[in-house]
Amino acid sequence: MFAVDAVTADAIRQAFNKGGEIAAVVEFRRHYPLLANNENARSFVHAIAGWQAIAPPPLPLRRSKKPRVERALQK
């Protein structure tokens, strides 16, 4: 098991888009030299190249300072 940071994933994705699968495998192996199996590296590259950015979580709802009961009585 290994972790891939955003910078490394971007470098692998750029290599895949510009130079194809083999260039991406070379870039992957440059960052992870201990993963020597090219077949596994190819599957990792395909997985990394297919990643989409995760959308940021929605902003929390803003609550008013007055409780609802007080607002209803004021009307």
What are φ and ψ of residue 9, in 5° steps?
-60, -40
Q: How far is CA 20 from CA 13, 52, 67, in A?
A: 10, 18, 59
pTM of the model: 0.66
Cα–Cα dist 72/75, whole Å = 6
Domain ranges of the chain: 1-52
How would residue 9 be classed by pLDDT, with cut points 50, 70 and 90?
very high
Confidence (pLDDT) at 63: 72
How does pLDDT run across 11-57, given as a tens digit for each residue?
999 999 999 999 999 999 999 999 888 899 999 999 998 887 777 88
